[in-house]
Structures are given as structure tokens and as C-alpha cells.
Structure 1
Amino acid sequence: MTAPRSIRTLTLSRSGLAITGPALALLVAAAASAQSYPTRAIRFITVAAPGTVGDIIPRVLAQELAARLGQPVVVENRPGGSGLVGATAGAHSTPDGYNMLLSTSGTMIVNTFVYSKMPFDSLKDFEPVAHVATVPLVLVVSSASTVKSVKDLVAMARSSPGAVSYGSLGNGSTHNISMSIVKKAEGIDMVQVPYKGSPAAFQDMMAGRLATTFDFVGFSLPHIKSGKLRALAVGVPRRLGALPDVPTMQELGYPGFDTAMWYAVYTPAGTPRDIVRRLGEEFRAVLGTPSVREKFAALTVEPGNLIGEQFTAFQAAQFTRWGNIVKSLDIRVE
């Protein structure tokens, strides 16, 4: 039986498939939505605490994005629970294009394998918008330490099992995973000391109460430059322009060592696809501006450039990679 003309949604013409009726109305409405978007302020949740790299990044991006969109982009800090507090707020926000989330590879991917129960599904509860930044780590000791190299650090830990301490942000943090890779590769036992942030760990290192830590280069660099900390190695595949004389962990005999943390923008699942695409293109444009690149360089942060399907594919590969790493190290948080 032929459907009445008034409710047909698809018709064939000489030129191919034509969309009519309700389907056409939906497409027209979507196009109009994309063209008029945004009409009010956009909330930009970050999983980071004020004053941290994860707080500075969204504020730098928000300033440029607001100028391009013609509407305010308001950064909202929702730290806590290894990023789970902020990410959960992002997942539960209205999927209308006026709620964005800046989260990390640790929160979205590593936590999936570390925690026995997650408050959200990283793949199902979010629309990936853009990979915006990569933050490298560096292994440091106090400049007063007798440790001059990674080899020295390993020798010290081997000679005093369970006595050499390292700082981290807790089980499953990038700091913890980085050192756990070294511990497993060398068969050494070190004591993890969890901190709420880098300043306290640096203070203890300089006072001789903590032996070492992997930390973000942006935090460590001022102390390295001032001579208070000594950099032993960087945890990325290539040497850093800011620390050209510091070897990579791969150079020192740790194949595939790359524990850099990355930041990405998401919207809650169900956000209109045209708006997700628009935001992705806007972030790509913003990340290419001299202003953003200069401010990121000052933080030793590498701008990202992946949006859409490229970012989705990258994230899928990262799930596989980090899943294998975490499982091999048997790191869990109950």
C-alpha cells in the first residue's frame, strides 16, 4: 500500500534521493539551529582546581572562543575524585550545546581501568569534540640529592628496597603510572607518597623528605630553571625544547615510554551533531591562533589538533593502549 503523500519522508527524483516532509523539516530546523547558535552564554566545566594547568587551559581557550562565537564562555571549576566530580557534572548536563567539559585522559580513560565502578560511561555518555592539549611529564629530584640520573635512582632503590619514596597524586594518577612502569621494568620496590598537588611534593623534595616524583613540566620547569630541582628524564618520545639537554625515558632504555596527559573537550551525549561539529571547527581555529600557542608554550603545553572522526579514532586507540598498561601494572582503586 502506498503511503499518503502528506506523510512520505523520502521520494525519488531524476537527480537521486530527495528528502521531503517531516524529515526535511527536521533538517531545516537543525541547519537553522547551527546557524543561529549560540544565542547565550556557554558553560565550560573543567575537572581541574583553580590555578592548575587544567584551569589555565580552558580559560585561555574560552577567551578566544568567546570572541569567535560572540557569546561568553564561562569556565566552571569542578575538581575532585580524580576528575570524576567534574566529568559526572558534564555527563549529566543538558545536551543543548551550552554545556562543555574539559577533561583529561586520566579521567576519561585511565579511570575506566583503575576504578571498579565508574559514575559514567566515557564512550556512551559524551560526544567527543576536540583534543586540545598534551602535557608532558618530567622526572625530578632535589638539586641537593646525590641522584644525578635515572640509573642512580634505580640503583638507590635497588640497594634500599621499600625505602626510597616517590610523590604522586594517588593510585592511577599519571605520576603513579609513570613510576610504576619504571618499578616493574627494573624490579624495584619504592614507596608511593600521595599528595593533593605538586607544591607540597616539591616542598618535601627540597626539604629532603621525598626522593623523587614525575610531574608536569609546566609545574617543574621554574624550579628546574632556578636550580632547586634536577631533571633526570622526560616522559615523552621526543626531547622538549624547554629542556633540550634532558633525555627521554625511551633514550634511557624504556621502550614506548610515553605517559603524557592530554586534555580534550566533550559535550554530553545527545548534543546536536551540527553543533558538535561547529564547536570542533571553532576549537581547531582557536588552537591555531598565535595568542593561544604563545600562552600554551609558556606552560610547556602542546596544542592539540584533532576533532571529529580523527579525535574519536585517537581516543579509541588510547583506550586500548592505557587499558593494556594499567592491567599490566595491576593498579586498582576500589
Structure 2
Amino acid sequence: MRHMRLLQNVLETTLGRPLAMAAVAATLAAASAVAGAQPSYPDKPLRLVMGFAAGGSVDPMARTITRMLGERLGQTIVLEHKPGAGGTIAVGSVVNAPPDGYTLLLSNPGPLIVKPQGDPLSKLSAIGRVADMPLALVVPAGSPFKNLQEMVVFAKANPGKLTYGSGGYGATTHIGMEMLKHEAGLDIVHVPYKGQAAATPDLISGRIDMLLDGWNSSIPNVQSGKLRYLGVATLNRSAIKPDVPTIAEQGFPGFNAALWWGIWAPAGTPSDVVEKLGRELQVVTQTDELKNVYKQLGVDPQSSTPEQLTAFVHSEQVRVQNLVKDANIRLD
């Protein structure tokens, strides 16, 4: 204040008292505005946390998104792997992070709606949907079933004789097959594995009869003649393999068991930050570059606003919870 009084005395000498006081007031207002201004978001690197180990099938998709979204935001986004407990460790780390927009979550439905700990969705703010990983029903090359209906007819005539593998209780591949069993009225024995990849060798060798698997892991085995598709578990045929019919069009209208992915921030993140992240993420997910990367990975691109992701996930939550209850599905 001493410096301001000196400035006022100098200005009064040169401008007169009224003009001097006005000049000092304007200087104080400008200084106050500068002091109160916040740096524009983001002004430091971000973290994107995912509940899977590095090097897995989801890793290339996640790395591409972090790179492209980081370029849009003008900041580096560090991909952080926190595998374990079905993704709940990753969810917990983001839920408990400061709600400032610098810690984000990339997740599938598993730890959010299939086997959640508590109510994680109430502690997260949706940013946007990024991808669907189509699942397809595959059988060994030597299987007698050439299409889905042949399998269904046999299974109904021989309850309990067929088996299917999954990535474990509560996995999307488990829930999807139980959904098919429930809708078709089938008795097929579940053989859970510690991860989806562990089931594939047993499927190829014929130790299990079928598997609901992702495009990215099944396509090489189908192309090499080791496996064969019976149907894709999405509402529409995939652009990746448009010649493969959907399960829905083979007698089960509305059947959909795609493995979707989205991005969230901690609840309480400022709305303008959520809006900016959502806006920039939509730009990324609609680029030809990302679509080309997805095609190579066997992933279908998706794009949404934060509000659309919130509505979609809540509808999925109701659908899965009803299915688990109606079909009496064991989750652990």
C-alpha cells in the first residue's frame, strides 16, 4: 500500500486528485483480477488409469486414445495400469483422486455394473464412450455346428452335454453366454478360466465346446483355420467381419453382449472441465485416424457426450442386474 500511496502522490501532482484516484482504482482492480485468475485447464500432465496389465489386448486402444486426446488438450496423458480385483483397484484409485480433471478412468462394465464394490457410478463423472469391442461366439474348427441354430437344437436335445469357457465369473463373456442360455432355454455347463486368454487353447483343442470371445483375439485363430464363428454378439453386424451374422438375426432379436469402454473422472470434477474433456474426446473418437487404428484392433468406434454415457450406463446397469436376477447367474 505504501507504494500505491507514493504512486497516488505522483499522479496527483501531474493529473490532479480526481484523475489520480481513478487511475489508482483501475490499477488495483487489474491487480486483483490477475491475482484471482486461475491457470487454464489443463496446465499439467494428466493420468488415465485402467484396470488391465500393460501389453494386453486393450493396451493399444488405450495408448492411442491417450496420445490423441493429449494432443487435443495440449498436455501429455500418462497411461497408468492398475490391474487386479476385476478392475476395482483402478476404479478405487480414481474415485479417491482429487476431482480436478487430472486423473481419469478407462473402464469396461465389469467393475462398474457387473461386480461393483459399493456404488462406483455415484462417485464418478462420465466423460464419454470410446469403443465397443464386439464379442463373437466361436467353436473349434472340428465342431459339428456350422451355425448357431444347429448348436441350439443340439443343446436343447442334450442338456448339460455342451460346455462353454469364459474369462471368469462376472466377466462380460460369462454374462453374455448366460444371457444366451437364458433366452434360448439352454443347459450348457460353464467352465470359468483365470482370464479369457487361458480358455482359448482348450477351445482349439476341443476340451470345451464354445467361447464368447473378442474379435481382436479370435480373428487370428479363425483366419488360421483353428476356430469358426457361429455369430457376433452385437445388435448389428460388425464392420470388421460383415459376413458373420449376428446372434440377434439368428432367432434372438435384441441380443447384445458387446464389451463397451468409456472414460470417467472423479465425481465433483468442475462442470467446465468435464465439458471440455467430453468435447475433445468426441473429436478424437470421430477421427479417421482412430477409426483406422480400431479396425486393426478389431474394435468398433463409439462416441458420446457425458450425458449420453451416463444414460447408457444406467440402462446397462438395469439390464445386467435384471438378467443376473432372472437367470440366477453366479458372479463369484
8 Å contact from structure 1 (residues 100, 266) kept in 2 = yes
User: Which of 44, 48, 57 is equivalent to 1:44?
Assistant: 48
Give the Cα separation in 1 of the matches to 2:276 and 2:57. 26
8 Å contact from structure 2 (residues 134, 234) kept in 1 = yes
8 Å contact from structure 2 (residues 61, 297) kept in 1 = no
Q: Is structure 2 residue 220 aligned with structure 1 residue 219?
A: no
Any gaps of 5 or more consecutive residues in structure 1?
Answer: 1-27, 113-117
- SS of the aligned residue for 1:239 comes to coil
TM-score (norm 2): 0.84
Match of 2:13? none
Match of 2:89? 85
Question: For residue 77 of structure 2, what is the amino acid of its counterpart?
Answer: V
8 Å contact from structure 2 (residues 168, 195) kept in 1 = no
Match of 2:8? none
Q: How many residues align?
A: 299
Match of 2:105? 101
Question: For residue 109 of structure 1, what is the amino acid of its counterpart?
Answer: I
- SS of the aligned residue for 2:54 comes to coil
8 Å contact from structure 1 (residues 167, 213) kept in 2 = yes
Deviations 1:230-266 (A, max 9, x none): 0000111111232222211111111210011210100
Bigger Rg, structure 1 or 2: 2
Deviation at 1:159, TM superposition (A): 4.3
Match of 1:24? none
Match of 1:3? none
Match of 2:288? 290
Give the Cα separation in 1 of the matches to 2:44 and 2:263. 19
Deviation at 1:149, TM superposition (A): 1.8
TM-score (norm 1): 0.83
Give the Cα separation in 2 of the matches to 1:192 and 1:51. 28
Deviation at 1:84, TM superposition (A): 1.3
8 Å contact from structure 2 (residues 107, 262) kept in 1 = yes
Any gaps of 5 or more consecutive residues in structure 2?
Answer: 1-32
Deviations 1:259-285 (A, max 9, x none): 112101001112122111111111111
Deviation at 1:189, TM superposition (A): 1.9
Counterparts of residues 46-61 of structure 1 (less than 5 Å): 46-61=50-65
- SS of the aligned residue for 1:139 comes to strand
- SS of the aligned residue for 1:87 comes to helix
- SS of the aligned residue for 2:67 comes to helix
Q: Is structure 2 residue 332 aligned with structure 1 residue 331?
A: no
Match of 1:20? none
Deviations 1:137-175 (A, max 9, x none): 100011122222222323443444323211111222211
8 Å contact from structure 2 (residues 202, 208) kept in 1 = yes
Give the Cα separation in 1 of the matches to 2:284 and 2:70. 10
Match of 2:268? 270
Q: 1:316 to 1:146 in 2, by over 3 A?
A: same
Deviation at 1:181, TM superposition (A): 2.0
The CA RMSD measured in Å over matched residues stands at 2.1
Give the Cα separation in 2 of the matches to 1:330 and 1:82. 21
- SS of the aligned residue for 2:304 comes to strand
Deviation at 1:315, TM superposition (A): 2.3
Counterparts of residues 1-334 of structure 1 (less than 5 Å): 33=38, 36-112=40-116, 118=117, 120-333=118-331
Deviation at 1:50, TM superposition (A): 2.2
Deviations 1:176-222 (A, max 9, x none): 12211222233332221112333321211111211110011121112
Identity of aligned pairs, percent?
38
